[in-house]
Each structure stands twice: as C-alpha cells, then as structure tokens.
Structure 1
C-alpha cells in the first residue's frame, strides 16, 4: 500500500495566510486528502472498479469518519483538538442522512486533515497510519 508519508505533494503556507483559511475550507481540503488516502489504501489487490468504489465509500461516509476520529482522539495534541472544535462548529449544512453529531465529528476530522496537510504532513501521515481500515470490506 501507499506510504502515508508520501501519498500527496506538500504545500507550505505562511502562517498569516493559513490563519485566513476558514474551518469549512480546511474541511473541504481535508475531505479530498482523506479520500485520496483511503483510495490509495484499497488499490491492492487489484479488483473491479465497483469494488474499489464500495470499499472507499464505506470508509469515507460520515459514520466511518466519526469512528476514525474517536479512535484518534487520545493521540491528538491541544492544538489539534482546537482544530477539531473549530471544524465541528463549521459543520453548518446538515445532512439528512446522518445524525448531526456524527456529521459534526466527520467535518471536524476533515478540518484536521486539511490543517495537517497544510502545516505538518509528517503528523498527518502518522495519524493516517493509525487508522484501522477494514480490509475485509466486500470485494
């Protein structure tokens, strides 16, 4: 599988620019970062595109993201917990499919992923490597 440390190119933003990015925008970026990581983890063994899709969707849905967030919380720093809080509060649109608390947790995880992508890719890689992905999802 792809190494979490090098699955994405890195971007460095000056602190002043970073502080202008809203938690919603961090979650927007983090959603893409998280999904790309998940997709990279299910590439092997080779399978049909529909199987890839089913496995990835199972991991990127709000319920799975909330579960992954809970599994990581004990590893997070104070700064990262603050990003989670800000991301949770940024969950302005409500999903009709899931409980609002689950949706907020998923959004906060995405905000953290976006923030770490921009500030500390090594830390992002470490946390992603801690995720317990289900290798037995339908193929």
Structure 2
C-alpha cells in the first residue's frame, strides 16, 4: 500500500504542477461546485471499473456504467453508507450541504429526493477529490457499491 501512496502523491503533485493549479481553500466552493467535479470523478471511477472487466463493445460498457451513474444508484450508495455509519462527521456534513443545496436543474429520470440525495453524494466525492483524499474517495465509492450489491 505504501508504494501506491507514493505514486498517488507523485501523480497529484505532477497533475497540479503541470496544469498550474492554484491552492484553493475548498471550503470556499459551493456544494453545487463540489457536486460538479464530484460527478465527473465518480463517473471516471465507474468507467474505470467497467473497463477493468475486459474489452467489450462500447455500448455494453456504456449500459453497465449508466446503471451506476444515475441519481437512483448514487442515492442508494450514500443512503447505505449513512445508515451503516460508514462516514465521518465531516463527510456527513459535506453530504448534507450538497443534499440541501438549491439547484437550478431538476431531475430528469429520478425523484426529487433521489436527485437531491445524489447531489449530496457527488458533493462528497468532489470534496474528497479536491481535498486530496483519493484513497478515502475510492474506499467510499467501493464500499457503497458493495453495500448496494454492485461490487463484483
């Protein structure tokens, strides 16, 4: 595990240096801004997981990803983590801020409750990503997938 931490740390440093990213206090971001980046990070994790199952038609990979990258699945994940007391108080606070944020967009294929809950989950993913807590982010996603029976 130590080797992965070193390479992960080197990657994040290289990423920040190469793209000339500024150090920003992530508490200055709105919950919806955290959800914006969290949505992308979560989708990348899921697509990586799907790709790891082997090469198949892109349409099949898309279907597998779409089953997990939607408001209902994300809401199920975060609810299971909260119910299982798997999150820290800080993570729960970030999730709740995201869930309670007023969004200009509406749910397309989900209930309002699932959509808002999923937004909270995405905010948590964004928060963990921007905090550099990538190992915790991966753990939260994999544990959530496991709890809802989607980790193969």
* Bigger relative CO (Cα 8 Å, ≥ 6 apart): 1
Q: How many residues align?
A: 129
- How many angstroms does 1:13 deviate by? 6.8
Task: Kindly indicate whether the alpha-carbon contact (under 8 Å) linking 2:142 and 2:151 is maintained by their aligned counterparts in 1.
Answer: no
Normalised to the residue count of structure 1, the TM-score between the two structures is 0.82
| Residue 28 (structure 1) aligned to one of 28, 36, 43 | 36
| Structure of greater Rg | 2
Normalised to the residue count of structure 2, the TM-score between the two structures is 0.76
Stretches (4+) displaced over 4 A = 11-14
Bigger shift: 118-127 or 56-65? 118-127
Task: Kindly indicate whether the alpha-carbon contact (under 8 Å) linking 1:91 and 1:103 is maintained by their aligned counterparts in 2.
Answer: no
Confirm or deny that 1:70 pairs with 2:79.
Answer: yes
5+ long unaligned stretches in structure 2: none
5+ long unaligned stretches in structure 1: none
Q: For the aligned residues, what is the CA RMSD?
A: 2.2
- How many angstroms does 1:134 deviate by? 5.4
| Residue 94 (structure 2) aligned to one of 83, 102, 111 | 83
> How has the CA–CA distance of structure 1 residues 13 and 67 changed in structure 2, closer, same or farther, with 3 Å as cutoff?
farther
